Protein backbone atom coordinates (compact mmCIF):
# COMPACT_ATOMS: atom_id res chain seq x y z
CA UNK A 1 0.00 0.00 0.00
CA UNK A 2 1.45 3.34 -1.07
CA UNK A 3 0.45 6.29 1.11
CA UNK A 4 1.12 9.87 0.02
CA UNK A 5 0.76 12.41 2.84
CA UNK A 6 0.26 16.09 2.08
CA UNK A 7 0.06 18.99 4.50
CA UNK A 8 -2.51 20.62 2.24
CA UNK A 9 -4.02 20.29 -1.22
CA UNK A 10 -7.07 21.63 -3.06
CA UNK A 11 -8.68 18.18 -3.16
CA UNK A 12 -7.28 14.72 -2.55
CA UNK A 13 -9.54 13.37 -5.31
CA UNK A 14 -8.21 15.92 -7.79
CA UNK A 15 -4.62 15.20 -6.74
CA UNK A 16 -5.08 11.45 -7.16
CA UNK A 17 -6.91 11.82 -10.49
CA UNK A 18 -4.04 13.93 -11.81
CA UNK A 19 -1.57 11.32 -10.58
CA UNK A 20 -3.54 8.69 -12.54
CA UNK A 21 -2.73 10.51 -15.75
CA UNK A 22 0.99 10.64 -14.97
CA UNK A 23 1.75 7.07 -13.89
CA UNK A 24 0.32 3.58 -13.48
CA UNK A 25 -0.86 3.53 -9.90
CA UNK A 26 -0.83 0.50 -7.65
CA UNK A 27 -4.15 -0.64 -6.27
CA UNK A 28 -5.04 1.14 -3.02
CA UNK A 29 -2.68 4.05 -3.57
CA UNK A 30 -3.79 6.56 -0.93
CA UNK A 31 -3.52 10.35 -0.69
CA UNK A 32 -4.09 11.85 2.77
CA UNK A 33 -4.20 15.60 3.35
CA UNK A 34 -4.08 17.55 6.57
CA UNK A 35 -6.18 20.21 4.89
CA UNK A 36 -8.30 20.40 1.73
CA UNK A 37 -8.75 23.96 0.51
CA UNK A 38 -11.37 23.00 -2.10
CA UNK A 39 -12.76 19.71 -0.82
CA UNK A 40 -15.76 18.53 -2.82
CA UNK A 41 -18.91 16.60 -1.96
CA UNK A 42 -21.81 15.16 -3.89
CA UNK A 43 -23.32 17.27 -6.68
CA UNK A 44 -20.69 20.00 -6.41
CA UNK A 45 -21.13 20.78 -2.73
CA UNK A 46 -18.10 21.84 -0.71
CA UNK A 47 -16.75 19.72 2.15
CA UNK A 48 -15.93 21.85 5.19
CA UNK A 49 -13.33 20.61 7.68
CA UNK A 50 -10.86 22.18 10.09
CA UNK A 51 -7.25 21.42 9.17
CA UNK A 52 -5.53 18.44 10.81
CA UNK A 53 -8.58 17.54 12.88
CA UNK A 54 -10.39 15.32 10.41
CA UNK A 55 -9.65 12.51 8.01
CA UNK A 56 -9.64 13.65 4.38
CA UNK A 57 -8.22 11.12 1.98
CA UNK A 58 -8.67 9.41 -1.38
CA UNK A 59 -8.06 5.84 -2.45
CA UNK A 60 -7.29 4.53 -5.94
CA UNK A 61 -9.06 1.26 -6.82
CA UNK A 62 -8.63 -0.50 -10.16
CA UNK A 63 -10.96 -3.17 -11.56
CA UNK A 64 -9.75 -4.07 -15.01
CA UNK A 65 -13.25 -3.92 -16.47
CA UNK A 66 -16.48 -3.35 -14.56
CA UNK A 67 -19.86 -2.86 -16.17
CA UNK A 68 -21.05 0.75 -15.87
CA UNK A 69 -24.48 -0.55 -14.83
CA UNK A 70 -22.92 -1.91 -11.63
CA UNK A 71 -21.31 1.32 -10.48
CA UNK A 72 -23.64 1.79 -7.50
CA UNK A 73 -22.18 -1.37 -5.98
CA UNK A 74 -18.94 0.60 -5.60
CA UNK A 75 -20.87 3.18 -3.59
CA UNK A 76 -22.46 0.48 -1.43
CA UNK A 77 -19.08 -1.17 -0.79
CA UNK A 78 -17.50 2.11 0.31
CA UNK A 79 -20.40 3.04 2.60
CA UNK A 80 -20.39 -0.40 4.22
CA UNK A 81 -16.62 -0.33 4.69
CA UNK A 82 -16.79 2.96 6.60
CA UNK A 83 -19.84 1.96 8.62
CA UNK A 84 -18.34 -1.40 9.64
CA UNK A 85 -15.09 0.31 10.67
CA UNK A 86 -17.00 2.75 12.86
CA UNK A 87 -18.99 -0.09 14.38
CA UNK A 88 -15.66 -1.61 15.47
CA UNK A 89 -15.01 1.68 17.30
CA UNK A 90 -18.39 1.42 19.07
CA UNK A 91 -19.86 4.48 17.36
CA UNK A 92 -23.59 4.31 18.05
CA UNK A 93 -26.67 4.86 15.88
CA UNK A 94 -24.91 4.34 12.55
CA UNK A 95 -26.92 4.56 9.32
CA UNK A 96 -26.27 5.16 5.63
CA UNK A 97 -28.18 8.13 4.25
CA UNK A 98 -28.70 7.45 0.56
CA UNK A 99 -26.55 7.36 -1.42
CA UNK A 100 -23.49 7.14 0.86
CA UNK A 101 -23.42 9.65 3.72
CA UNK A 102 -22.71 8.07 7.09
CA UNK A 103 -24.83 9.26 10.00
CA UNK A 104 -24.62 8.70 13.73
CA UNK A 105 -27.78 9.49 15.70
CA UNK A 106 -29.12 11.23 12.57
CA UNK A 107 -26.13 13.58 12.28
CA UNK A 108 -23.66 13.43 9.40
CA UNK A 109 -20.16 12.31 10.31
CA UNK A 110 -18.83 11.18 6.93
CA UNK A 111 -19.22 12.06 3.27
CA UNK A 112 -18.05 10.19 0.19
CA UNK A 113 -17.24 11.30 -3.35
CA UNK A 114 -16.54 8.56 -5.90
CA UNK A 115 -15.18 9.48 -9.32
CA UNK A 116 -14.98 6.65 -11.82
CA UNK A 117 -12.49 6.32 -14.67
CA UNK A 118 -14.32 5.14 -17.79
CA UNK A 119 -12.47 3.35 -20.58
CA UNK A 120 -14.09 1.63 -23.55
CA UNK A 121 -17.54 1.83 -21.92
CA UNK A 122 -16.35 0.09 -18.76
CA UNK A 123 -15.22 1.35 -15.34
CA UNK A 124 -11.50 0.68 -15.19
CA UNK A 125 -10.84 2.37 -11.84
CA UNK A 126 -12.29 4.62 -9.15
CA UNK A 127 -10.95 7.45 -7.06
CA UNK A 128 -12.76 7.14 -3.73
CA UNK A 129 -12.75 10.32 -1.66
CA UNK A 130 -13.66 10.06 2.03
CA UNK A 131 -14.19 12.93 4.46
CA UNK A 132 -14.67 11.76 8.03
CA UNK A 133 -15.29 14.19 10.89
CA UNK A 134 -12.99 12.97 13.64
CA UNK A 135 -11.56 15.41 16.21
CA UNK A 136 -13.40 18.60 15.19
CA UNK A 137 -16.15 19.45 17.66
CA UNK A 138 -17.46 22.82 16.42
CA UNK A 139 -19.43 23.00 13.15
CA UNK A 140 -20.47 26.54 12.29
CA UNK A 141 -23.93 26.73 10.66
CA UNK A 142 -24.01 22.93 10.28
CA UNK A 143 -26.55 21.74 12.88
CA UNK A 144 -26.76 18.27 11.31
CA UNK A 145 -22.99 17.61 11.51
CA UNK A 146 -21.15 15.69 14.19
CA UNK A 147 -17.82 13.91 14.70
CA UNK A 148 -16.34 10.88 16.39
CA UNK A 149 -14.94 12.99 19.23
CA UNK A 150 -18.27 14.75 19.72
CA UNK A 151 -19.91 11.34 20.10
CA UNK A 152 -17.37 9.53 22.28
CA UNK A 153 -15.16 12.24 23.80
CA UNK A 154 -12.13 10.32 22.53
CA UNK A 155 -9.30 11.97 20.56
CA UNK A 156 -8.44 9.70 17.61
CA UNK A 157 -5.25 9.04 15.66
CA UNK A 158 -6.08 9.96 12.07
CA UNK A 159 -3.49 7.68 10.45
CA UNK A 160 -4.70 4.66 12.40
CA UNK A 161 -8.29 5.40 11.39
CA UNK A 162 -7.30 5.62 7.72
CA UNK A 163 -5.57 2.23 7.85
CA UNK A 164 -8.63 0.63 9.48
CA UNK A 165 -10.92 1.96 6.75
CA UNK A 166 -8.58 0.90 3.94
CA UNK A 167 -8.36 -2.63 5.37
CA UNK A 168 -12.16 -2.84 5.43
CA UNK A 169 -12.34 -1.44 1.89
CA UNK A 170 -10.17 -4.35 0.75
CA UNK A 171 -12.52 -6.84 2.41
CA UNK A 172 -15.62 -5.43 0.72
CA UNK A 173 -14.02 -4.87 -2.68
CA UNK A 174 -12.98 -8.54 -2.55
CA UNK A 175 -16.64 -9.42 -1.97
CA UNK A 176 -17.56 -7.32 -4.98
CA UNK A 177 -14.88 -8.96 -7.14
CA UNK A 178 -16.16 -12.41 -6.18
CA UNK A 179 -19.70 -11.52 -7.24
CA UNK A 180 -21.37 -11.27 -3.82
CA UNK A 181 -23.78 -8.64 -5.13
CA UNK A 182 -26.90 -9.67 -3.23
CA UNK A 183 -25.03 -9.94 0.07
CA UNK A 184 -23.64 -6.43 -0.44
CA UNK A 185 -27.04 -5.01 -1.35
CA UNK A 186 -28.81 -6.69 1.58
CA UNK A 187 -26.21 -5.36 4.01
CA UNK A 188 -26.44 -1.85 2.54
CA UNK A 189 -30.23 -1.78 2.67
CA UNK A 190 -30.25 -3.10 6.25
CA UNK A 191 -28.41 0.08 7.32
CA UNK A 192 -30.38 2.49 5.14
CA UNK A 193 -31.51 5.59 7.01
CA UNK A 194 -35.30 5.95 7.39
CA UNK A 195 -36.01 2.62 5.70
CA UNK A 196 -39.64 1.56 6.19
CA UNK A 197 -40.38 4.71 8.19
CA UNK A 198 -42.77 7.49 7.11
CA UNK A 199 -40.56 10.25 5.73
CA UNK A 200 -40.96 13.57 3.97
CA UNK A 201 -39.29 14.11 0.60
CA UNK A 202 -38.81 17.06 -1.73
CA UNK A 203 -38.83 16.55 -5.48
CA UNK A 204 -36.60 18.43 -7.92
CA UNK A 205 -39.70 20.44 -8.89
CA UNK A 206 -39.98 21.66 -5.29
CA UNK A 207 -42.98 19.55 -4.28
CA UNK A 208 -43.01 17.79 -0.90
CA UNK A 209 -44.57 14.37 -0.36
CA UNK A 210 -44.64 11.58 2.21
CA UNK A 211 -43.46 8.06 1.53
CA UNK A 212 -41.51 5.06 2.79
CA UNK A 213 -38.00 4.15 1.65
CA UNK A 214 -38.15 0.44 0.80
CA UNK A 215 -34.66 -0.03 -0.68
CA UNK A 216 -32.53 0.80 -3.69
CA UNK A 217 -32.42 -0.54 -7.23
CA UNK A 218 -29.30 -2.24 -8.61
CA UNK A 219 -28.52 1.00 -10.43
CA UNK A 220 -28.71 2.96 -7.16
CA UNK A 221 -32.08 4.66 -7.50
CA UNK A 222 -34.03 5.17 -4.29
CA UNK A 223 -37.21 3.09 -4.03
CA UNK A 224 -40.01 5.05 -2.35
CA UNK A 225 -43.46 3.65 -1.59
CA UNK A 226 -45.74 6.67 -1.95
CA UNK A 227 -49.12 7.38 -0.36
CA UNK A 228 -50.96 5.93 -3.35
CA UNK A 229 -49.22 2.59 -2.61
CA UNK A 230 -47.16 2.86 -5.80
CA UNK A 231 -43.38 2.38 -5.54
CA UNK A 232 -41.37 4.86 -7.61
CA UNK A 233 -37.66 5.06 -8.34
CA UNK A 234 -35.79 8.34 -7.89
CA UNK A 235 -32.31 9.34 -9.01
CA UNK A 236 -30.00 11.52 -6.92
CA UNK A 237 -30.99 14.75 -8.67
CA UNK A 238 -34.70 13.96 -8.52
CA UNK A 239 -35.43 13.82 -4.80
CA UNK A 240 -34.05 14.80 -1.41
CA UNK A 241 -34.95 13.44 2.01
CA UNK A 242 -36.14 16.03 4.53
CA UNK A 243 -35.56 15.04 8.15
Topology adopted by domain 198-242: SH3 type barrels. (2.30.30)
Q: Where are the domains of the chain?
A: 3-190, 198-242
CATH class of 3-190: alpha beta
Residue 47 has pLDDT above 60, yes or no: no
Pairing of strands 3-6, 30-33: parallel
User: Average pLDDT for residues 107-122, to the nearest whole number?
Assistant: 95
Rounded CA gap, 240 and 222, in Å? 10
pTM to 2 decimals?
A: 0.94
Does residue 239 contact residue 201 with C-beta atoms inside 8 Å?
Answer: yes
pLDDT of residue 141: 83
Residue 45 pLDDT level (bands cut at 50, 70, 90) = low
Question: CB neighbours of 219 closer than 8 A, spacing ≥ 6?
Answer: 69, 72
Whether residue 99 has a cis bond before it, omega within 30° of 0: yes
The partner residues of 61 in beta bridges, in order of sequence, read 126
Helix (H) or strand (E) holding 190: helix 181-190
What's the CA angle centered on 98, arms 59 and 69, to 5 degrees? 65
Amino acid sequence: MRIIKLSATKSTNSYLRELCTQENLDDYTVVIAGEQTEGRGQMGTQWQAQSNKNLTFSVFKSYGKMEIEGQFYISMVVALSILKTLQMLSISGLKVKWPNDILSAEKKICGVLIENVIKQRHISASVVGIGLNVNQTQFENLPKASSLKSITGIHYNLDELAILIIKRLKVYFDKLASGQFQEIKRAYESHLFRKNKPSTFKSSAGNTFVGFITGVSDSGKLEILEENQVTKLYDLKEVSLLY
